[in-house]
């Protein structure tokens, strides 16, 4: 029954918000740290939509009806090991579900570091993430969003990106800037689902690390992109969810980030389920993890 109700709500939401879906490019013209080589993006649908070789990064905005809006917005980074984007499974589907809770959902199609068109690949996902948060705040009045209630949500490698923008929101690269760059990129809260956090050997997800910083990265780069080492008292409140039997991203990643948050007295909520594996998404039909979204909504209510 619970599964049927969720599917019904997603169908209804898809119908109701179809006229309120907005797609915007993150950047005007050729994005920074990119050369126009005429490369083409590829989208493959095999059960889920997998997007490769993103050349024009964008946000896809899903707006609930104005009467329902809570003022909260969640900027969503799909996972995929920094090699692809699981765009609907860990993106659009969650944006539509958030709409049923009165929350604006924004899916980010961010550039992936394996594209040959990038001039400094390791910096590009974070740059796109910062821009997405800023762009949402730029449109906050238009979309009926409270600019102090803009959070991020990431899955697996998308969780790594969400944790990176949560800890390196002020990181700068040499590039031209515009008025939107003056807006804060710091998320007000973070939601991390089975996230990659550490690039250190004991807990690293080798595929994500290799794709983002290379197989022979220096210790300095490894530490910079190990988010547990970059938490401060200014890191936003965080919700973490992971399955104990995750065979893709070791559960220690969530432990490390939670411990760092706790040590810096940052409000944090860690939820571990015995089963669910990696990439459980909504958790439908996977036992107790099926209820993690209800716990999340309660946590978000406490943020208001």
Quote the CA–CA distance of 99 and 224 in Å, as a whole number: 35
Using CA of residue 138, residue 144, residue 147, residue 152, what is the dihedral sign? negative
CATH architecture, domain 51-302: 3-Layer(aba) Sandwich (3.40)
The two beta strands, 58-62 and 21-25, are: antiparallel
CB atoms within 10 A of CB 68: 13
| Tens of pLDDT, residue by residue, the chain (304 residues) | 444 444 444 444 444 444 478 999 999 999 999 999 999 999 999 889 999 999 999 999 999 999 999 999 999 999 999 999 999 999 999 999 999 999 999 999 999 999 999 999 999 999 999 999 999 999 999 999 999 999 999 999 999 999 999 999 999 999 999 999 999 999 999 999 999 999 997 677 789 999 999 999 999 999 999 999 999 999 999 999 999 999 999 999 999 999 999 999 999 999 999 999 999 999 999 999 999 999 999 999 998 7
pTM for the full model? 0.93
Tell me how many degrees the CA angle 203-206-209 measures, rounded to the nearest 5.
100
| Residue 93 three-state SS | helix
Contact 24, 61 (CB under 8 A): yes
Identify the DSSP state of 89. I
The structural domains of the chain, with segments of one domain joined by +, span 51-302
């Amino acid at each position: 029954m619970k599964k049927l109700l969720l599917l019904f709500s997603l169908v209804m939401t898809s119908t109701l918000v179809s006229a309120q879906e907005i797609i915007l490019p993150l950047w005007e013209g050729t994005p920074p740290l990119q050369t126009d080589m005429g490369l083409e993006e590829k989208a493959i649908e095999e059960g889920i939509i997998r997007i490769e070789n993103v050349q024009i990064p964008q946000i896809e905005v899903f707006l609930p009806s104005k009467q329902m809006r809570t003022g909260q917005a969640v900027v969503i980074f799909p996972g995929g090991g920094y090699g692809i984007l699981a765009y609907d499974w860990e993106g659009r589907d969650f944006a539509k579900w958030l709409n049923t809770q009165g929350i604006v959902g924004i899916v980010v199609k961010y550039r992936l570091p394996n594209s040959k068109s990038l001039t400094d690949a390791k910096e590009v996902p974070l740059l796109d993430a910062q821009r997405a948060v800023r762009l949402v705040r730029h449109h906050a009045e238009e979309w009926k969003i409270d600019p102090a209630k803009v959070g991020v949500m990431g899955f697996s490698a998308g969780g790594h990106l969400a944790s990176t923008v949560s800890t390196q929101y002020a990181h700068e690269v040499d590039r031209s800037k515009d008025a939107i760059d003056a807006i804060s990129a710091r998320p007000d809260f973070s939601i991390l689902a089975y996230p990659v956090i550490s690039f250190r050997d004991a807990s690293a997800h080798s595929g994500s690390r290799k794709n983002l910083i290379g197989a022979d990265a220096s210790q300095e780069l490894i530490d910079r992109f190990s988010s547990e080492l970059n938490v401060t008292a200014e890191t936003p409140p965080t919700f973490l969810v992971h399955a104990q039997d995750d065979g893709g991203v070791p559960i220690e990643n969530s432990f490390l980030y939670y411990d760092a948050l706790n040590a810096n007295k940052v409000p944090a909520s860690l939820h571990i389920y015995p089963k669910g594996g990696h990439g459980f998404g909504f958790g439908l039909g996977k036992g107790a993890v099926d209820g993690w979204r209800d716990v999340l909504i309660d946590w978000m209510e406490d943020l208001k």
